[in-house]
């Protein structure tokens, strides 16, 4: 068990609402289960999910240890763009989850990497995320760099922090953009009410996305997005924030699926980093997938 001590700041807020808002990664239903199990107390007494909190009230939350998932090697084909004894760069297809989680215990990139690399993966992120330095969404395709030892993992993680590891994406957004380029500098945090979504939130973590127009269509725009920071769903949230959601993004844009797209029209196309052992600046690129180029051709005909 891991204990969290929280202090309520809003009068009259329900206990389950407060917990889901305050504990990162905790959904409203998960908060309710904790309350039902008596794992949330105040003054030594268990709280109920409908209990209303008072300002300054102290809550002790006992989070149970996560149940370990058994990540097994699976002979899943991988599109390897670059590999040596320290790193492997993979071009992930749309639909592949990066690491095992509830509802996705197999068929993930980690399962494939365990088969391909054997024991040659960094252990810093534990047994469920071996070698995983950064992630991309299930319905986003493109490049991921994976560390094959702990020293490489530490070096790459530092590059993520100081922004010397750069990631450039290709995307198609709904609507036109007046300027040829721009920057979205807006903080991102968990959505205050919908816990599975992120949002631009005052007080969230700083997030910066630089964008540049590649091609304009009737009603859509092809843009290149460079990440200065790497928040969850950053490009999707930022482009929706300026009124230009990604084509096919049913979470931050239209709920209606787009024919020919399995999700948002977003591809991690280029990755630049300093090799963790040699110190050589490297750049790798993944060509646009057919579903992206097919979408471009359809838009050109409109």
Residue 206 has pLDDT above 90, yes or no: yes
Q: Which of 2-11, 165-174, 190-199, 200-209 has the lowest mean pLDDT?
A: 2-11
Q: Which of 237, 272, 261, 239 is nearest to 94 (CA)?
A: 261
Rg (CA), the chain: 21
Q: What is the pLDDT of residue 25?
A: 59
Strands 141-147 and 266-274, bridge-based pairing? parallel
User: Is residue 267 classed exposed, middle or buried when 0-12, 13-18 and 19+ CB atoms within 10 A define those classes?
Assistant: buried
* Mean of per-residue pLDDT scores for the chain: 90
Handedness of CA 63, 197, 158, 113 (dihedral sign): positive
Same domain as 234, residue 170? yes
**Residue 71 maps to which CATH number?**
3.30.2350.10
Specify whether the CB–CB gap between 261 and 250 falls below 8 A. Answer: no
Same domain as 149, residue 174? no
Same domain as 182, residue 134? no
pLDDT per position as a tens digit, 224-261:
999 999 999 999 999 999 999 999 999 999 999 999 89
With bands split at pLDDT 50, 70 and 90, how would you rate the model's confidence at 66? low
Q: How many CB atoms lie within 10 A of CB 209?
A: 25
Contacts of 225 (CB under 8 A, 6+ apart): 168, 169, 170, 171, 209, 210, 211, 235, 239
Same domain as 72, residue 55? no
Q: What is the pLDDT of residue 5?
A: 76
Q: What is the pLDDT of residue 87?
A: 97
Same domain as 271, residue 208? yes
Q: What is the pLDDT of residue 26?
A: 65
DSSP 47-116: --TTPBP-TT-EEEEEEPPPPPP----------EEEE-SSEEEEEEPTT--SS-BTTBSSSSHHHHHHHH
Same domain as 168, residue 55? no
Residue 79 has pLDDT above 80, yes or no: yes
Specify whether the CB–CB gap between 127 and 253 falls below 8 A. Answer: no
Same domain as 212, residue 195? yes
Domain encompassing residue 153: 67-162
Same domain as 219, residue 120? no
Instruction: Just list the catalytic residues.
Output: 137
Number of domains within the chain: 3
Placement of tokens 């001590």 in the chain: 5
Same domain as 249, residue 143? no
pLDDT per position as a tens digit, 271-294:
999 999 999 999 999 999 999 999
Average of per-residue pLDDT across 86-111? 90
């Amino acid at each position: 068990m891991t204990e969290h001590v929280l202090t309520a700041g809003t009068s009259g807020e329900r206990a389950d609402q407060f917990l889901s808002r305050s504990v990162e990664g905790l959904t409203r239903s998960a908060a309710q289960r904790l309350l039902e199990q008596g794992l949330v107390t105040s003054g030594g007494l268990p709280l109920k999910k409908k209990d209303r909190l008072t300002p300054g009230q102290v809550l002790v939350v006992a989070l149970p240890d996560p149940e370990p998932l058994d990540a097994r090697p699976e002979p899943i084909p991988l599109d390897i763009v670059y590999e040596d004894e320290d790193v492997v760069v993979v071009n992930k297809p749309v639909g592949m989850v990066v690491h095992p989680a509830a509802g996705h215990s197999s068929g993930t990139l980690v399962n494939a990497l365990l088969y391909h690399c054997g024991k040659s993966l960094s252990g810093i992120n534990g047994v469920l995320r071996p070698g995983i330095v950064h992630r991309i969404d299930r319905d986003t395709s493109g490049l991921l760099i994976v560390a094959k030892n702990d020293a490489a993992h530490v070096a790459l993680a530092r590059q993520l922090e100081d922004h010397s590891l750069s990631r450039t994406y290709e995307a198609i957004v709904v609507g036109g953009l007046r300027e040829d380029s721009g920057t979205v500098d807006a903080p991102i945090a968990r959505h205050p009410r919908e816990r599975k979504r992120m949002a631009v939130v005052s007080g969230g973590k700083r997030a910066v996305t630089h964008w540049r127009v590649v091609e304009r269509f009737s009603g859509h725009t092809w843009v290149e997005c460079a990440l200065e920071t790497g928040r969850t769903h950053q490009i999707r949230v930022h482009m929706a924030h300026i009124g230009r959601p990604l084509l096919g993004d049913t979470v931050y844009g239209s709920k209606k699926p787009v024919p020919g797209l399995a999700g948002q029209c977003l591809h991690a196309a280029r990755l630049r980093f300093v090799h963790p052992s040699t110190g050589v600046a490297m750049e790798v690129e993944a060509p646009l997938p057919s579903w992206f180029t097919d979408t471009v051709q359809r838009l050109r005909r409109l």
